[in-house]
Structure 1
């Protein structure tokens, strides 16, 4: 399949599901805002505990003890279950509200992380967020939005056409096509997995080398 054809199909999908894209984007943005706002209400004990975790991460990076295998494993655990959950929910007729909640939670995680870094470490935290958190999420966020819309669109198709015999007879073809769409999203997300595993730790290492410890 040529690049122009892929872009054409994606453009058509965006146009036909425009409002689903808007709703999914709004949910992620809402989650980001809630995540950023929640940092203000954290207790000092919680902040100290998280800063201690970051300090340990900083020490490991600074000493050169980077376990890429462990980072890659944690990256998969953080993202693949979400993608699988969206895929499964798209096969149901009641999955749309839960998919939107997942979008909010994903946005909350990103907003909380960035806000906590900036709130707890000032300019160093901002630098860490821009170079260590955002790069992979530039890939993750569009992928999760696309996955959300594909799942919601399929779920609505089931609701709309469940009494259509022709659609029912082709259900396995539709499910296969739907699943392949998710595999394509996962393939793109794999780039983000590699960035988070190999690029992010080394960016953090460069930050440490340039400005010293990321902990104030």
Structure 2
């Protein structure tokens, strides 16, 4: 029974992606534009802003080395709470007529944050920064980014359907589409649950092992 449900879920997701292929391409390109823009912003920071970020990173590195960061349970609760708030907000936006532009802005900003984070690490630590970004940023985002993009596309599609059915054609119920959208969001929330587990219990160990390669003192040396 579980295998059958998984197969049905996989088929449903494949059909959804195939039917919204052009929208997925558009949203993915928008996300990549955000990543590029975030990396470019790094070069516009003034020395005081860079120094503040460097001090924060040094403090974070020191906390990792001394194993004084948040307990895994607390980190899991924060990560899961943030993910559920994000997915819940995107679900609500998908149910509203004004949700389309907000969802697009959200995707762009998500890419911008990731691009800025990776860009800043690389600008200050060169290949060491790229390695640390690969260890600390990439793994969980391999789950988060696809899930967020899927929820965004589903929300945009449902919002467009809502506009057509309610404001233009005045057709009948769209309850089946609402149920499908909600189920899809729930499935992506489950994926984000896995991401929260990874962030809390696996990612700190990966970053801690990467610190000897990076070294937080390198930040000050690079800045000075």
TM-score scaled to structure 2, two decimals?
0.87
State the 1:78 CA deviation. Answer: 4.1
User: 2:87 is matched with which residue?
Assistant: 83
User: 1:57 is matched with which residue?
Assistant: 60
Rounded Cα–Cα distance in structure 2 between residues aligned with 1:2 and 1:77: 27
Distance 1:215 1:102, change over 3 A: farther
Rounded Cα–Cα distance in structure 1 between residues aligned with 2:15 and 2:178: 20
State the 1:95 CA deviation. Answer: 1.1
Of 41, 46, 51, the match for 1:43? 46
Q: For the aligned residues, what is the CA RMSD?
A: 1.7
User: What aligned pairs does 1:142-157 form with structure 2 within 5 A after superposition?
Assistant: 142-157=146-161
What secondary structure sits across from 1:2 in the alignment?
A: helix
State the 1:213 CA deviation. Answer: 2.0
Residues 51-88 of structure 1: CA deviation (Å, up to 9, x unaligned): 11111111111112232234334423543332222111
Q: Are 1:203 and 2:210 an aligned pair?
A: no
What secondary structure sits across from 1:66 in the alignment?
A: coil
Residues 108-132 of structure 1: CA deviation (Å, up to 9, x unaligned): 0100000011111222211110111
Q: Number of residues paired by the alignment?
A: 211
Rounded Cα–Cα distance in structure 1 between residues aligned with 2:127 and 2:82: 27
Rounded Cα–Cα distance in structure 2 between residues aligned with 1:204 and 1:17: 37
TM-score scaled to structure 1, two decimals?
0.90
Of 114, 121, 144, the match for 2:118? 114
What secondary structure sits across from 2:137 in the alignment?
A: helix
Q: Are 1:213 and 2:220 an aligned pair?
A: no
Rounded Cα–Cα distance in structure 1 between residues aligned with 2:210 and 2:39: 23
Q: Is residue 147–residue 191 contact of structure 2 (8 Å, CA) maintained in 1?
A: yes
Distance 1:99 1:26, change over 3 A: same
Rounded Cα–Cα distance in structure 1 between residues aligned with 2:103 and 2:34: 13
Q: Is residue 121–residue 215 contact of structure 1 (8 Å, CA) maintained in 2?
A: no
Q: Is residue 143–residue 188 contact of structure 1 (8 Å, CA) maintained in 2?
A: yes
Structure 1 segments, 4+ long, off by >6 Å, are none
Q: Is residue 100–residue 159 contact of structure 2 (8 Å, CA) maintained in 1?
A: yes
| Residue range with higher mean Cα deviation, 106-115 or 124-133 | 124-133
Gaps of at least 5 residues in structure 1 are none
Rounded Cα–Cα distance in structure 2 between residues aligned with 1:164 and 1:36: 45
